[in-house]
Structure 1
Amino acid sequence: MTGPTVPRSTEPEPAAGWAPTPALGRAVLLAGLLLVAGVLLGRVDLIVLAAPFALGTAYALRRRPTALPQVWITPGDDGPLVEGGDVTAAVSVGNPDTVDYDLVVLRTRVSPWLRIFRAAFARDGAADVQPAATTPTGGQGPASGASRSAADRPFVTSVPTGSAVDLELVGRALRWGRHPVGPAGARVATAGGLLVSRAVIIEPVRVRVYPRTEPFEAVEAMPRAAGLVGAHHSRRPGEGGELAGVRRFGPGDRLRRIDWRVSLRARQLHVAATLSDRDAEVVVLLDVLAEAGRSGGVDGAASVLDTTVRATAAIAEHYLHRGDRVSLLEYGPSARRLRPAAGRRQYLTVLEWLLDVRVTSSSHEPYDQVFGPQLLSSDALVVVLTPLLDERSAQMLARLTRAGRFVVAVDTLPTDLSSPKDRGWAEVAYRLWRLDREIMIGQLREHGVPVVRWAGAGSLDQVLRDVARLATAPRVGGR
């Protein structure tokens, strides 16, 4: 990752960016005092003693630097990065000047969710390894008191003229999101340590870490399929793979549908009737009004937002793999949405969309802002990922159910959410809150809103079976 030359995108800075060091002041002061003392006292030995200081300072300053160092950050080119994967990046320092940089002090910041455990300078194919401050022991996140990263300290090197040196960072991504590498800064000393540059700061570069997809499989049928093609069997006859029965041959029937066994036995042509295969639209609604729990990264505890994002990625992957259309909505002040689509491109778009999910508190009711006119299809399955920490979330679920939508609520509150450790009434208040939340969930189920806790594979099978049964049941119409 070492570049032989420095990029020419940045013009050299003027010499005003350089300042004398205390060493230059001491050398000039000492040489001046010795010369003045030698002249006043008539001591030749003092003049001879001052000569090395004067000549050495003049020799070191014979070529002054005219350009400041260049710093840039290059993320690793290892393809899509997922939680728990290895992350690489490089912080480069270039020398566009005509003099060598005797000393370069480089320092960079790295997101606490990127655990850097090895840092090395690469120069001409060789790696000058800098000892790491710590070595990770299994992916503890910042919330669990992880120790200091190897990148949180200064690094020292030298850079010849017209070349660049790379500080290679190798580590592990602990959590999904857009994590910054940087800002990075460098200061340079040259002319034998007599001149130092001002600090050159570069803006951070964001590294995209996609959520790890939890295992998820839903084998139950969709409540109602409305598309033209897909993997779900509808109740309408048509081209498909699900056998609906055998009937007599009629006009428009295809010859390849003839059932010869039944035809020979009945002495009349019969064809196999099938049900049409249709796709479905799945709307995943993310409740971002509240957060609870502390995130411990990919190997630690999961907060509400962690469970929401990872479950959304798993649900979207499952239904998009089956050919369904998937759309995303945020129930919050921003009301972000992703249009419904199918295919692998939509899955990649879903992962990119999830990187910007944030919990945003608001005092107003976002229902009308989120569910605009003709936004939800009447045949769509709405999967709501919510911790049920806000009364507005429960009211939203009830309103969707009363509107005739097929709604499934997924509880994302951590099961290991501990009670407050304070003395007094904190424990009693926590129990009352838990009891009030259980009552709210019971009321939602009485209103026809199925609530299930997210548990990976098979989490929604029983709920989808009940919703599909309700969708196929005859409805009583009022006069």
Structure 2
Amino acid sequence: MGRAVLLTGLLLLGAVLLGRVDLVVLAAPFALGTAYALRRRPTAVPRLAVATGDPILVEDGPVAATVTVGAPGPVGYDLALVRTGVSPWLEMQRCGFATDREPPAGSADRPFITTVPPDAAVDLELSGRTRRWGRHRIGPAGTRAVACDGLLASRPVFAGGERVRVYPATDPFEAVEAMPRAAGLVGGHRSRRPGEGGELAGVRVFTPGDRLRRVDWRVSLRARQLHVAATLSDRDAEVVLLLDVLAEAGRSGGAGGRASVLDTTVRAAAGIAEHYLHRGDRVALLEYGLNARWLRPATGRRQYLTVLEWLLDVEPDEFEHEPFDHVFGPHLLSADALVVVLTPLLDDRSAEMLARLARAGRFVVAVDTLPAAAPGDRSSVAQLAHRLWRLDRENIVGQLRDHGVPVVTWAGSGSLDLVLRDVARLATAPRVGR
């Protein structure tokens, strides 16, 4: 518009100064075209909104969003330029505008162009898949509209983005061994205490108060005296998942790629929590770091959803102070709880924490979450340094085992069967009293 007005003014000024009518004829199309284009002009800036289909997603699952741009008045826009920011962990592609003419698909963070009819809105559909767990943002989005045959452009309009929660994909986990000690009477683990349950403890002589459905008629006919089947009570256990967030190693490749220490820790914690909550046990979560976040023990599906929500905020927490004193209080760790520590053992403070828990009489299982080293061309000096570091780390693992802390590498289902069996044996072994 500025060029049209400037050119028209220069031609008319030249016609007056030079007395040439042909310059007026040349200026007439520019003046008439500008006046005709400005006969109807928008009175409001475009409206922009970002909406997500489902705010709760799963890692490596589908994700969809909609960016809407509309013309609020009776005059539409000849062109609307829209651009949306998308988290790098969301692989989203443009499906196209909801119009008769569909543009080709493209990346979600590229600019898109469309026309907007009067008193109408156009939807930009985005779809794709999630690559990694966490809280991610779709947006903010910005647009700028052009009207009056390209003579007028609106100021930029921005819309805040929408946050989506991507829950981690739970690693498959199954443990068949019993808990060291059980407390309540609602779970599915076998207790050492006689009572109502499904685990057979033996056959004994009938006593007043025993239920008739417990009578073992074969033994009673053979012994000519009533005998009943004795069972062990079913009791729930308390499992505390302790997440070591002092160090992060490896580069996350998202779903289907290489896993970093934090990826392995979060996915393993989700799998272990799902297994024990499904069996009716109580699960609590605790961070070993500066923030020392804690999730109280509970059972049920609601606790599982709370665990997934809690895991979304797990971040590496590197600091120089010792977090042991303000992390482990008497109200956080029960004396009979099974403490599963997910740690890469990259910090000396982690090994000291495990040793303190073992000396305090806790039932501790250390799960190594350090990923395998990626193969690559390293120099002889780098290979030697890596070998020395490996030897030092194996020495730390050996010292922990000497303190009675079993260390097992995370391998999914069945990873903790052997160590849980050993811990259960230690829990039932007689202890020396003073």
User: Into which bin does the TM-score normalised by the smaller protein fall?
Assistant: over 0.9
CA deviations on 1:387-422 (whole Å, 9 max, x unpaired) are 00011100110111111110000000011245894x
CA deviations on 1:269-312 (whole Å, 9 max, x unpaired) are 22111110001011001000100011111111110000001000
The reply on whether 1:192 has 2:149 as its aligned counterpart is yes
Deviation at 1:42, TM superposition (A): 2.9
The reply on whether 1:454 has 2:430 as its aligned counterpart is no
Q: List structure 1 runs of 4+ shifted beyond 3 angstroms.
A: 417-421, 423-427
Aligned to 2:28: 51
Partner Cα separation in structure 2 for residue 195 and residue 162 of structure 1 = 19
The 3-state SS of whatever aligns with 2:98 is strand
Partner Cα separation in structure 1 for residue 161 and residue 363 of structure 2 = 44
1:96 pairs with 69, 72, 86, which one?
A: 72
Partner Cα separation in structure 2 for residue 209 and residue 302 of structure 1 = 16
The answer as to whether partners of 2:56 and 2:164 remain within 8 angstroms in 1 is: no
The reply on whether 1:224 has 2:181 as its aligned counterpart is yes
The reply on whether 1:312 has 2:286 as its aligned counterpart is no
Aligned to 1:33: 10
Aligned to 2:93: 117
Aligned to 2:386: 430
Unaligned segments of structure 1, at least 5 residues: 1-23, 133-149
The reply on whether 1:476 has 2:426 as its aligned counterpart is no
The answer as to whether partners of 2:72 and 2:120 remain within 8 angstroms in 1 is: yes
Aligned to 2:198: 241
Between the two proteins, the alignment pairs up a number of residues equal to: 434
The answer as to whether partners of 2:366 and 2:407 remain within 8 angstroms in 1 is: yes
Matching residue's letter, 1:262: V
Partner Cα separation in structure 1 for residue 11 and residue 428 of structure 2 = 103
Aligned to 2:114: 157
The answer as to whether partners of 1:419 and 1:427 remain within 8 angstroms in 2 is: no
The answer as to whether partners of 2:94 and 2:124 remain within 8 angstroms in 1 is: no
The answer as to whether partners of 1:249 and 1:269 remain within 8 angstroms in 2 is: yes
2:315 pairs with 358, 364, 368, which one?
A: 358
Aligned to 1:282: 239
Matches within 5 A, 1:330-349: 330-349=287-306
The answer as to whether partners of 1:68 and 1:97 remain within 8 angstroms in 2 is: no
The reply on whether 1:295 has 2:271 as its aligned counterpart is no
Deviation at 1:55, TM superposition (A): 1.7
CA deviations on 1:197-235 (whole Å, 9 max, x unpaired) are 121122221121111111111011111111112111111
Partner Cα separation in structure 1 for residue 415 and residue 300 of structure 2 = 23
The answer as to whether partners of 1:242 and 1:274 remain within 8 angstroms in 2 is: yes
Aligned to 1:12: none
The answer as to whether partners of 2:192 and 2:232 remain within 8 angstroms in 1 is: yes
Aligned to 2:39: 62
Matching residue's letter, 1:467: V
Q: CA RMSD in A?
A: 1.6
Deviation at 1:85, TM superposition (A): 1.2
2:396 pairs with 422, 437, 440, which one?
A: 440
The answer as to whether partners of 1:282 and 1:382 remain within 8 angstroms in 2 is: yes
The 3-state SS of whatever aligns with 2:93 is strand
The answer as to whether partners of 1:217 and 1:318 remain within 8 angstroms in 2 is: yes
The reply on whether 1:406 has 2:363 as its aligned counterpart is yes
The 3-state SS of whatever aligns with 1:128 is coil
Deviation at 1:46, TM superposition (A): 2.1
Partner Cα separation in structure 1 for residue 173 and residue 421 of structure 2 = 16
Query: CA distance change for structure 1 residues 240 and 385 in 2, over 3 Å: closer, same or farther?
Result: same
Unaligned segments of structure 2, at least 5 residues: none
Matching residue's letter, 2:98: A
Deviation at 1:103, TM superposition (A): 0.9
The reply on whether 1:374 has 2:348 as its aligned counterpart is no
Partner Cα separation in structure 1 for residue 93 and residue 41 of structure 2 = 38
Query: CA distance change for structure 1 residues 248 and 127 in 2, over 3 Å: closer, same or farther?
Result: farther
Deviation at 1:262, TM superposition (A): 1.9
CA deviations on 1:84-120 (whole Å, 9 max, x unpaired) are 1111111111221332111111111111111123431
1:85 pairs with 61, 73, 88, which one?
A: 61
Using the size of structure 1 for normalisation, the TM-score is 0.87
The 3-state SS of whatever aligns with 1:394 is helix
Partner Cα separation in structure 2 for residue 95 and residue 476 of structure 1 = 82
Matching residue's letter, 2:22: D
Partner Cα separation in structure 2 for residue 228 and residue 62 of structure 1 = 81
Aligned to 2:158: 201
The 3-state SS of whatever aligns with 2:170 is coil
Matching residue's letter, 1:251: P
Matching residue's letter, 1:130: P
CA deviations on 1:403-450 (whole Å, 9 max, x unpaired) are 1110000000011245894x5744333222221111111000000000
Partner Cα separation in structure 2 for residue 418 and residue 330 of structure 1 = 31
The answer as to whether partners of 2:93 and 2:105 remain within 8 angstroms in 1 is: no
Aligned to 1:131: 105
2:214 pairs with 248, 257, 268, which one?
A: 257
Partner Cα separation in structure 2 for residue 373 and residue 247 of structure 1 = 41
The 3-state SS of whatever aligns with 1:439 is helix
The 3-state SS of whatever aligns with 1:59 is helix
The 3-state SS of whatever aligns with 1:129 is coil
Matching residue's letter, 1:459: S
CA deviations on 1:45-102 (whole Å, 9 max, x unpaired) are 321221221122122223333322121111123x842221111111111221332111
Using the size of structure 2 for normalisation, the TM-score is 0.96
Partner Cα separation in structure 2 for residue 412 and residue 432 of structure 1 = 20
Identical-residue share of aligned pairs (%) = 73
Partner Cα separation in structure 1 for residue 127 and residue 27 of structure 2 = 50
Aligned to 1:7: none
Aligned to 2:168: 211
Query: CA distance change for structure 1 residues 283 and 420 in 2, over 3 Å: closer, same or farther?
Result: farther
Matching residue's letter, 1:250: T
The answer as to whether partners of 2:245 and 2:288 remain within 8 angstroms in 1 is: yes
